[in-house]
Amino acid sequence: MKDFAYVCPATLGDAIAAMKGDGARALAGGTDLIPQMREGRRQIACVVDLKRIPELTGITAGADGSLVLGAAASASHVAQNAVVAGAYPAVAQSARLIGSLQVQNRASLGGNICNAAPSADAVPALICHQASVRIAGPAGQREEALEDFIRAPGKTNLAPGELLVSIVLPPVAPRSAAAYLRFTPRREMDIAVAGAAAWICLDAGGRVAAARVVLASVGPTPMRAASAERQLLGERPSRALFASAGRLAAGDARPISDTRGSADYRRSLTAVLTARALADCCAATPIQQALA
């Protein structure tokens, strides 16, 4: 492992200044970065530890009912937060799937996003909720949709010197629910062979007014299953509908074969997980109440 410098700034401004120059990399939980450095997969000249910066670690309510998650807050911290657990349970559920408990106590959603692995567990549910990311850099602050933020494995829209500061969850729509399910051969400490997040929102008549299905580990980045979503619109929730949406999601998926699973198997799983995630949405209180 090559040697590196380490700084731990107390303010966002100092952090941005530290991110200038080649080879600077942000450190939050370190659960991806440190193994990558030790295995020689990343050459880092300067590690910028973000954990002293309040905007990056706190979880705060926005004035408009949104929720702002500091990008470096630990997955455990996010999952245990009462508002996350109550209003965005799929996000809490996703945070509880990353690695093991020990990993969740350090790993951050921001790191999960910026590491940009196709299997990133935190991302699908966040995209379902139309999360946006707030970015700060030398040119100032900006915000963009998380859905557009991840470009390719290991690559996001962060320009050199920019930092992911926080993840913004819009206020929860009435008559909506989300769920994230993934498939792993072990029950814990595993990486998704395939994952599916679903979000549905019903109209006053109990039909699907809006739907989002986001797939993990079946494409270079987390991806929307557009055909599945179109299938759901205007329909009443039912087991058959979800099965059909699942099959369409499997068609939308673009998986590869690797040591964790073949492309065919990933497609099969996509169909099953999508249907089950949709069923879980349906079982959630807001949807049950809307159907009653």
Give residues in contact with other proteins (CB under 8 A). 1, 3-6, 8, 27, 29-31, 34-35, 37-39, 47, 49, 51, 76, 99-103, 105-106, 183, 185-191, 258-262, 265, 268-269, 272
Give the C-alpha separation, 251 to 233, whole Å.
18
Tokens standing for 82? 């009462």
Closest to other proteins by CB, 63 vs 187, is: 187
Please identify which residue in the block is written with the tokens 């051969």: 185
Helix, coil or strand: residue 261: strand
Nearer to other proteins, 123 or 269 (CB): 269
CA angle 57, 63, 165 (to 5 degrees): 30
Strands (E), 217-278: 223-224
Q: How far is the CB of 257 from other proteins (least distance, A)?
A: 10
Nearer Cβ to other proteins (5/283): 5
Q: Choose between 103 and 209: whose C-beta lies nearer to other proteins.
A: 103
Nearer to other proteins, 209 or 243 (CB): 243
Nearest residue (CB) to other proteins, 110 versus 286: 110
Nearer to other proteins, 60 or 262 (CB): 262
Closest by alpha carbon to 201, among 241, 232, 168? Answer: 232
Q: Nearest distance from residue 20's CB to other proteins, in Å?
A: 20
Structure tokens at 125: 């549910």
Query: Least distance in Å: CB of 4 to other proteins?
Result: 6
Q: What is the largest CA-CA distance in the chain?
A: 62
Query: CA 195 from chain center: how many Å?
Result: 11
The CA-based dihedral angle spanning residues 110, 141, 55, 20, taken in that order and rounded to the nearest 10 degrees: 70
Is the sign of the CA dihedral 134, 137, 142, 145 positive or negative?
A: negative
Minimum separation from the CB atom of position 220 to other proteins (A): 19
Of 166, 165, 132, residue with least CA distance to 149: 132
Query: Residue 287 CB, nearest distance to other proteins (Å)?
Result: 22
> How far apart are CB 36 and other proteins at their closest, in Å?
9
Quote the least distance from Cβ 10 to other proteins, whole Å: 12
